[in-house]
């Protein structure tokens, strides 16, 4: 097999993606959507945009969740488009990012199955909104959500990348412990593979990818320490098993001391400020007034998620101004695309429920 010169590959993809990024920045679609007085006016704007399929679904169904499924389909196709530009190891990374979308869909499917089989709740309405086309792996989503036992679920996933994790859990565990342990194990497996793929990249690509994903891993670990270490008062050894084994948070003496303390004495704000000074003083999302304050640690985790989004934006803007011949441009494009579709989704929902423009702007940040 003839390998393409990385400079040639990135030169080509740089031209392609920078043109798309330029269009995204120049297009005033998001701003016009926010200013639209009603949902009908917002949908009319989508008809003359790359998101015309979203408008068509609304015309036929008036169903917001069906519109969100179309946006998810756009995100999946965007990943596939980029892989057609790439060559070699970077393609594996993009496919693994697509696998994260597939994993999230799998977790949604298992949650619906759990509601039906374990909690005996009707799921027919909600199951209609699962994404059921192939994402990366051939999976029969309909058969999964309609499985009558955990054994059947295990059999259906046996020859997928998720089979090895799924088979380590039993129906008795699922019934007794819920889905937290399973979902944590699936996420951990995805991150393990992510780090392994990043390690195969060229030196420049590896440096860029690590600069992005290690921040995500650190903040994920920090959220775990805060939520489960302080508010759910889990024992230190149990929390350690949930932490991802990379980054500065997991390896720090501060985290060790925090976990060694009795749960009631753990100082979550001090731990947060040790790693990300000022994060604890954030006001949090504009819609925080709607948050149930009795849900343990929810505001702290919302702040961490908000900070992660801010840091990602800063990192990607820095990448766009830097070396054009790395995987960074691809990752920046994914970020900007996801940011745009996320704003469209939030705006459509806000217009549907009659929220003001200022309120919607506050929610999306």
What mean pLDDT is predicted for residues 150-158?
97
Highest mean pLDDT among 149-153, 343-347, 356-360: 149-153
User: pLDDT (tens digit, 9 = 90+) per residue, 11-62?
Assistant: 767 777 777 766 666 668 888 999 999 999 999 999 988 899 999 999 999 9
- Three-class secondary structure of residue 151 per DSSP: helix
Contacts of 285 (CB under 8 A, 6+ apart): 302, 306, 362, 363, 365
Sequence-ordered alpha helix ranges (H) in the chain: 6-26, 29-35, 39-46, 52-61, 64-85, 89-117, 124-127, 141-145, 150-156, 163-166, 171-177, 180-198, 203-226, 236-240, 253-260, 268-275, 298-320, 328-352, 357-364
The pLDDT of residue 25: 63
What mean pLDDT is predicted for residues 1-17?
64
Whether 176 shows a pLDDT value over 70: the answer reads yes
The pLDDT of residue 39: 94
**Spatial distance between the Cα atoms of 249 and 266, rounded to a whole number of angstroms:** 16
User: pLDDT (tens digit, 9 = 90+) per residue, 204-254?
Assistant: 999 999 989 999 999 999 989 988 888 888 999 999 999 999 999 999 999
Vertex 187 angle, CA 182 and 190, to 5°:
130
- Name the band, by pLDDT with cuts 50, 70 and 90, for residue 345: very high
Sorted by where each begins, the domain ranges of the chain are 1-85+343-365, 87-201, 202-326
Q: Which residue has the higher pLDDT, 20 or 351?
A: 351
User: pLDDT (tens digit, 9 = 90+) per residue, 85-125?
Assistant: 887 889 999 999 999 999 999 999 999 999 999 999 988 88
User: pLDDT (tens digit, 9 = 90+) per residue, 252-276?
Assistant: 999 999 999 998 899 988 888 888 8
The pLDDT of residue 181: 92
**Spatial distance between the Cα atoms of 149 and 155, rounded to a whole number of angstroms:** 10
Distances (CA, A) of 97 to 76, 88, 209: 10, 15, 12
The pLDDT of residue 4: 57
Whether 337 shows a pLDDT value over 70: the answer reads yes
User: pLDDT (tens digit, 9 = 90+) per residue, 279-295?
Assistant: 655 555 444 444 444 45
What mean pLDDT is predicted for residues 58-76?
94
Is residue 38 exposed (0-12), middle (13-18) or buried (19+ Cβ within 10 Å)? exposed
The pLDDT of residue 231: 80
The pLDDT of residue 316: 78
């Amino acid at each position: 097999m003839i390998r393409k010169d990385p400079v040639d590959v990135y030169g080509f993809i740089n031209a392609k993606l920078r043109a798309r990024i330029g269009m995204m920045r120049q297009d005033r679609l998001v701003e016009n959507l926010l200013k639209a007085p009603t949902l009908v006016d917002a949908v009319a704007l989508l008809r003359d945009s790359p998101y015309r399929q979203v408008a068509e679904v609304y015309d036929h169904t008036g169903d917001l969740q069906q519109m969100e499924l179309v946006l998810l389909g756009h995100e999946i196709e965007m990943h596939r488009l980029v892989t057609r530009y790439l060559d070699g190891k970077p393609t594996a990374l993009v496919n693994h990012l697509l696998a994260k979308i597939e994993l999230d869909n799998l977790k949604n499917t298992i949650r619906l199955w759990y509601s039906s089989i374990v909690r005996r709740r009707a799921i027919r309405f909600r199951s209609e909104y699962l994404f059921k086309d192939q994402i990366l792996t051939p999976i029969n989503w309909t058969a999964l959500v309609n499985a009558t036992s955990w054994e059947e679920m295990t059999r259906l996933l046996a020859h997928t990348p998720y089979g090895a994790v799924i088979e380590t859990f039993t129906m008795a565990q699922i019934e007794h412990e819920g889905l937290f342990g399973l979902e944590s194990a699936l996420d951990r497996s995805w991150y393990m593979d992510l780090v392994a793929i990043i390690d195969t990249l060229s030196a420049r690509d590896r440096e860029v990818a690590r600069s992005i994903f290690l921040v995500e891993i650190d903040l994920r670990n920090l959220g775990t320490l805060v939520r489960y270490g302080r508010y759910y008062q889990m024992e230190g050894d149990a929390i350690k098993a949930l932490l991802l084994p990379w980054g500065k948070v997991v390896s720090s003496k501060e985290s060790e001391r925090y976990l060694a303390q009795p749960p009631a004495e753990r100082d979550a704000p001090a731990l947060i400020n040790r790693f990300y000074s000022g994060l604890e003083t954030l006001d949090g999302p504009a819609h925080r007034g709607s948050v149930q304050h009795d849900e343990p640690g929810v505001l702290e985790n919302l702040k961490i998620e908000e900070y992660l989004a801010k840091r990602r934006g800063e990192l990607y803007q820095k990448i766009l101004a830097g070396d054009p011949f790395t995987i960074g441009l691809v990752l920046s494009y994914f970020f900007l695309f996801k940011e745009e579709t996320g704003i469209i989704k939030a705006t459509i929902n806000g217009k549907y429920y009659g929220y003001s423009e200022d309120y919607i702007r506050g929610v999306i940040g």
